[in-house]
């Protein structure tokens, strides 16, 4: 980036990164914003091609990973088809950044068998609306972690879809606005209550959604749970550890009459005892 | 990392990163290798806890993103349950690194509606075998990109599973050994032929697998395809652009008699013309 002659920048590039750009480089701002009039993808492509043909080194600077809902593939294909050499530098995608910040593993062993990313897209940006949508969510199996990029506008539909697929209403869920930035705001909730919780907190785009048992491993979830707003979460069928089940059963019997709800995810029999330790602590906090 | 008193290192940390470690820091190698006797996860946890209780700043250094099949969640939960403060720094997961290096978008708009990561795990490491497996692949819908971490040992089973789900045998597929390192080796093939192609190239662990139409957007796939080993790839049903379909039909009629096979993925009607441009070039190379 220090050798760039021209840099095309997206929205939300952290100032510390912008400062790395050579002072002699020309900077072209091509940020798009959902719900606002903004530059089209075709215009960005033309800017890139024009710059590549005029000068030596052009950098297209995006946030996150450019190959995960980042349009780098389209821009690279456009340029390659016009004989412009392209080199892509990978990045930390928003899901990884948010997971690290929240202290939750996207693929906690014994809890999530896999990890899926889908794009929900904004509520008003017509250009984005043509992309994939929550319709693709039919693919998500229950023990998997689901991360939804740009899904705020379709959150109620997302909930309906996931519930219809049999996901438990009490599946831990998380919405993070402007994740990994100083302006980050996070809402921990359940799948059932997420749209209302997000609305109450007035979260706005860009907001990343994470749905799945792994959200229950975040310290933020434990804090929320300890405030008495726990719920029952079913893990993979028939995979429950007897010990965990017994502990939960005992607690359930003591708590359900009071209207309290308990969160737990079943650890696989052959998993380590770490989840059990977590459960003990979590359950102890409401005992 | 410059302030670390102790650093616990995984296998395959690039030397340039290792050089960033403070010279005064104690380094503990805790790398695991599939098929070889190596340190257990419990022993790593104990090392971490011991170090955290003895000294000020302990760094656990992993390759890729520690929260995607990286066990950071388990290690963090173990430490948090013992009142050790944990901060997680996100990373570039292998899928992103390999995609950038191969020049393919994991979520090419109009081609892949989503992206899923699953772990196949090694063939002999008993410790790894307890994790999720190709059984979770039932979740993958066809227009999605599927990335399999540590799936080399289960590649034939993976193929059977995906074919049984209705994925086209000619779906573009890619296997990359030691991705993003100087020793990287990549095999472009089809889902149907991938196990044999991987065996012929003698790829070994660690190897990442990518299956899906997006692999067809990699320049490496185009090069392979131009050598006459093309195949027909079905895109999302009913989404074909008439123009692309006509072009492909014409080429099919001219080529099928000769036993040749053509690769294409249907662009959505509302997508840009970039894929079509790519197809024109690809198809022109076999005309």
Strand ranges for chain B from DSSP E: 6-9, 26-29, 58-61, 114-119, 145-149, 172-177, 185-190, 207-211
What distance in Å separates the CA atoms of residue A144 and residue B136, rounded to the nearest whole number? 8
Domain with CATH 3.30.950.10 in chain A: 94-218
Give pLDDT tens digits for A69-82: 888 888 998 998 89
Q: What average pLDDT score do residues A52-56 get?
A: 91
Chain A closest CA to B235's CA: distance in Å?
Answer: 14
- Give the pLDDT confidence score for residue A183 in this predicted structure: 83
- Give the pLDDT confidence score for residue B217 in this predicted structure: 83
Q: What is the rounded (10 degree) CA torsion for A161, A165, A167, A172?
A: -30
Would the CB atoms of A71 and B109 count as touching at under 8 Å? yes
Q: Are strands A6-9 and A58-61 parallel, antiparallel or unpaired?
A: parallel
- The secondary structure of residue B25, as a DSSP letter, is S
Tell me the three state secondary structure of residue A32.
Answer: coil
Give pLDDT tens digits for B167-206: 888 888 999 998 888 888 889 888 999 999 899 888 999 8
Q: Are strands B6-9 and B58-61 parallel, antiparallel or unpaired?
A: parallel
- Annotated active-site residue A32? The verdict is yes
C-beta atoms surrounding B205 within 10 Å: 17
Would the CB atoms of A116 and B115 count as touching at under 8 Å? yes
Give pLDDT tens digits for A230-260: 433 333 323 334 444 444 444 444 433 333 3
Tell me the three state secondary structure of residue A275.
Answer: helix
- Give the pLDDT confidence score for residue A222 in this predicted structure: 73
Q: What share of chain A is helix, strand, coil (3-state, %, to 5)?
A: 35, 15, 50
Cis peptide before A206 (omega within 30 of 0): yes
Q: Are strands A26-29 and B26-29 parallel, antiparallel or unpaired?
A: unpaired
**Chain A partners within 8 Å of B88 (Cβ):** 99-101, 103
- Give the pLDDT confidence score for residue B136 in this predicted structure: 54
- Give the pLDDT confidence score for residue B120 in this predicted structure: 82
Confidence band of A35 (pLDDT split at 50, 70, 90): low
Tell me the three state secondary structure of residue A239.
Answer: coil
Top-ranked range on mean pLDDT: pick from A89-103, A115-129, A205-219: A89-103
Report the CATH fold assignment for B94-218.
3.30.950
How is residue A64 written in tokens? 């996150």
Per DSSP, what are the bridge partners of residue B59? Answer: B7
Give pLDDT tens digits for B65-86: 999 998 888 899 899 889 999 9
- The secondary structure of residue A55, as a DSSP letter, is S
Q: Are B246 and B186 in contact (CB under 8 A)?
A: no
Q: Are A250 and A198 in contact (CB under 8 A)?
A: no
Superfamily of domain A6-80: Tetrapyrrole methylase, N-terminal domain (3.40.1010.10)
Radius of gyration from C-alpha coordinates of chain B: 22
Picking from B100, B135, B270, the nearest residue to A130 by CB comes out as B270
User: Which residues are CB-neighbours of A260 under 8 A, at least 6 positions away?
Assistant: A228, A230, A286
What distance in Å separates the CA atoms of residue A130 and residue A152, rounded to the nearest whole number? 16
pLDDT tens, per residue, chain B with 287 residues = 888 999 999 887 888 889 999 999 999 999 876 666 778 889 999 999 999 999 889 999 998 999 999 888 889 989 988 999 999 999 999 999 999 999 999 998 778 878 889 888 644 333 343 334 455 554 445 568 999 998 998 899 889 988 887 888 888 899 999 888 888 888 988 899 999 989 988 899 989 999 998 998 888 887 666 554 443 333 332 333 444 444 444 444 443 333 333 333 333 332 333 333 344 444 444 43
Q: What average pLDDT score do residues A56-75 get?
A: 91
What distance in Å separates the CA atoms of residue B121 and residue B147, rounded to the nearest whole number? 13
Look up the ipTM and state it.
Answer: 0.76
How is residue A131 written in tokens? 């992309």
Domain with CATH 3.40.1010.10 in chain A: 6-80
How is residue B11 written in tokens? 């296998």
Q: What average pLDDT score do residues A161-182 get?
A: 87
Q: Are strands B26-29 and B6-9 parallel, antiparallel or unpaired?
A: parallel
**Chain A partners within 8 Å of B71 (Cβ):** 105, 109
Phi, psi of B180 (to 5 degrees): 70, 5
Picking from A99, A135, A272, the nearest residue to B67 by CB comes out as A99
Q: Is the pLDDT of residue A85 over 50?
A: yes
- Give the pLDDT confidence score for residue A73 in this predicted structure: 87
- Give the pLDDT confidence score for residue A89 in this predicted structure: 93
């Amino acid at each position: 980036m220090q050798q760039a002659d021209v840099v095309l920048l997206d929205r939300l590039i952290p100032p510390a990164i912008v400062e790395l750009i050579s002072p002699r480089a020309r900077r072209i701002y091509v940020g798009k914003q959902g719900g606002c009039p903004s530059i089209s993808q075709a215009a960005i492509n033309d800017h890139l091609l024009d710059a590549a043909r005029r000068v030596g080194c052009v950098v297209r600077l995006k946030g996150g990973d450019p190959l995960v809902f980042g349009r780098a593939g389209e821009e690279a294909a456009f340029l390659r088809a016009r004989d412009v050499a392209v080199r892509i530098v990978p990045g930390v995608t928003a899901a990884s950044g948010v997971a690290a910040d929240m202290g939750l593993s996207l693929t906690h062993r014994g809890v999530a068998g896999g990890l899926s990313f889908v794009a929900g897209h904004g509520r008003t940006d017509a250009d984005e609306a043509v992309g994939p949508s929550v319709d693709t969510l039919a693919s998500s199996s229950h023990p998997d972690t689901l991360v939804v990029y740009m899904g705020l506008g379709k959150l109620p539909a997302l909930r309906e879809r996931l519930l219809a697929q049999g996901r438990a209403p009490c599946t831990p869920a998380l919405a993070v606005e402007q994740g990994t930035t100083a302006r980050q705001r996070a809402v921990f909730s359940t799948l059932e209550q997420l749209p209302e919780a997000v609305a109450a907190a007035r979260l706005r785009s860009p907001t990343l959604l994470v749905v799945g048992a792994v959200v229950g491993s975040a310290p933020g979830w434990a804090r929320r749970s300890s405030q008495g707003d726990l719920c029952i979460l079913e893990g993979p069928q028939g995979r429950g550890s007897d010990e965990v089940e017994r502990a939960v059963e005992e607690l359930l019997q003591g708590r359900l009459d009071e209207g309290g709800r308990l969160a737990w995810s079943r650890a696989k029999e052959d998993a380590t005892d770490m989840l059990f330790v977590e459960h003990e602590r979590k359950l102890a906090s409401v005992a």
